[in-house]
């Protein structure tokens, strides 16, 4: 079963003239990590809100096509019903944090589903441990760092025990180290817990190495759906969606354009090291005493 399947989906916001999404067809398997890359205005947020029923139930407009989440048609099921299947995390964690303590924040969703007290406590502890916030139960969310707030928002979504997590540019305000830690956490959800992850992003620098599949979007349309290795074969993919490519990939492309008779294909620093050493064996390694 697909975690998410969109077929021929188009959407126009109420009062708007142009399409936010135009004839979108894409699918996500259970346990798959999929990243949607695109600049502002590409349609990423609209796609995210379709995946949990916010569109069309809470946000009005004209929707065409079919959207199914684990086989359920979003147009026939409420946001509350879909919340047990799909957890949503927004770009600004403050927009979804409103309780007085970390524990209350994580417990809020399942508590509203009348989950028994013992099970509720287990869910809170499990979610906080999973995101690295164990022991901060009594802290006020307002005292947390930006990265911790984002992890708390993820924990609150995980406490609902969803089968898919959808995140709309969650790393936007994080530093490079915080971004990598967040992506690694999301990757662990797919590998250890079989959860599907749908991530909206406009930064290609680190995310490609964690993704199973990448969707390139521009102006409400999907341009390409492919594994990261295929996306990285052609720098024009990034120009088409107005997103800078990973720096190491850009270096490889620049070397290929300036040097004759070479075809560098590295996309990570480790690959760059291995390829350069294979071409120039005499290059010294760090710590080499020669």
* For range 28-51, the mean pLDDT: 96
Q: Which band of pLDDT confidence, cut at 50, 70 and 90, is reported for residue 21?
A: very high
pLDDT at 147: 86
pLDDT surpasses 70 at 74: yes
Residue with the two structure tokens 């099921």 = 77
pLDDT surpasses 70 at 248: yes
pLDDT at 3: 97
* Mean of the per-residue pLDDT values of the chain: 90
- Cα–Cα distance measured from residue 238 to residue 245, given in angstroms and rounded to the nearest whole number: 6
Measured in Å, how far apart are the chain's first and last C-alpha atoms? Answer: 57
Can you say whether the dihedral through the CA atoms of 181, 79, 162, 98 is positive or negative? positive
Q: Phi and psi dihedrals of 142, rounded to 5?
A: -65, -20
pLDDT surpasses 70 at 232: yes
Q: Which band of pLDDT confidence, cut at 50, 70 and 90, is reported for residue 205?
A: confident
Overall pTM > 0.75: yes
pLDDT surpasses 90 at 246: no
Q: Which band of pLDDT confidence, cut at 50, 70 and 90, is reported for residue 283?
A: confident
* For range 167-194, the mean pLDDT: 89
- Cα–Cα distance measured from residue 70 to residue 30, given in angstroms and rounded to the nearest whole number: 8
Q: Which band of pLDDT confidence, cut at 50, 70 and 90, is reported for residue 288?
A: low
pLDDT at 278: 84
pLDDT surpasses 70 at 290: no
Q: Which of 17-21, 29-33, 161-165, 244-248 has the lowest mean pLDDT?
A: 244-248
* For range 43-69, the mean pLDDT: 96
pLDDT at 287: 61
Residue by residue, DSSP assigns the chain as -EEEEEEEEEEEETT-SS-SEEEEEEEEETT-EEEEE--TTSSHHHHHHHHTTHHHHTS-EEEEEEEEETTEEGGGS-HHHHTTTEEEE-S-GGGG--SSSHHHHHHHHHHTTT--HHHHHHHHHHHHHHTT-TT-TTS-GGGS-HHHHHHHHHHHHHTT--SEEEEESTTTTS-HHHHHHHHHHHHHHHHHH--EEEEEES--TTGGGG-SEEEEEETTEEEEEE-HHHHTT-THHHHHHT-PPPHHHHHHHHHHHHSTT------SHHHHHHHHHHH-TTSPPTT---
Q: Which band of pLDDT confidence, cut at 50, 70 and 90, is reported for residue 281?
A: confident
pLDDT surpasses 90 at 96: no
pLDDT at 209: 84
């Amino acid at each position: 079963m697909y975690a998410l399947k969109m077929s021929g989906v188009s959407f126009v916001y109420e009062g708007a003239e142009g399409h936010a999404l135009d004839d979108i067809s894409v699918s996500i398997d259970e346990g798959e990590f999929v990243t949607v890359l695109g600049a502002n205005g590409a349609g990423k947020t609209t796609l995210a809100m379709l995946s949990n029923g916010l569109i069309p139930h809470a946000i009005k407009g004209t929707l065409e096509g079919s959207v199914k989440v684990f086989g359920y048609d979003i147009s026939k099921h409420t946001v509350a019903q879909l919340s047990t299947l799909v957890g949503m995390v927004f770009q600004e964690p403050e927009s979804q944090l409103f309780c007085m303590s970390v524990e209350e924040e994580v417990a809020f969703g399942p508590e509203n589903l009348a989950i028994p007290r013992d099970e509720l406590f287990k869910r809170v502890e499990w979610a906080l441990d999973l995101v690295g916030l164990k022991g901060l139960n009594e802290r006020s969310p307002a005292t947390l760092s930006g990265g911790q707030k984002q992890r708390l928002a993820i924990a609150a979504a995980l406490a609902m025990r969803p089968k898919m997590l959808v995140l709309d540019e969650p790393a936007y305000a994080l530093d490079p180290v915080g971004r990598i830690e967040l992506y690694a956490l999301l990757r662990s959800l797919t590998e250890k817990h079989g959860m599907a992850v749908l991530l909206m992003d406009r930064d290609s620098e680190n995310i490609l190495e964690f993704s199973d599949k990448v969707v390139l979007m521009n102006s409400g349309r999907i341009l390409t759906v492919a594994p990261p290795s295929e996306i990285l074969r052609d720098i024009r993919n990034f120009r088409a969606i107005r997103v800078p490519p990973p720096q190491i990939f850009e270096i490889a492309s620049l070397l290929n354009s300036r040097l004759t008779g070479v075809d560098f294909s590295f996309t990570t620093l480790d690959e760059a090291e291995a390829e350069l050493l294979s071409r120039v064996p005499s290059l010294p390694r760090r710590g080499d005493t020669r």
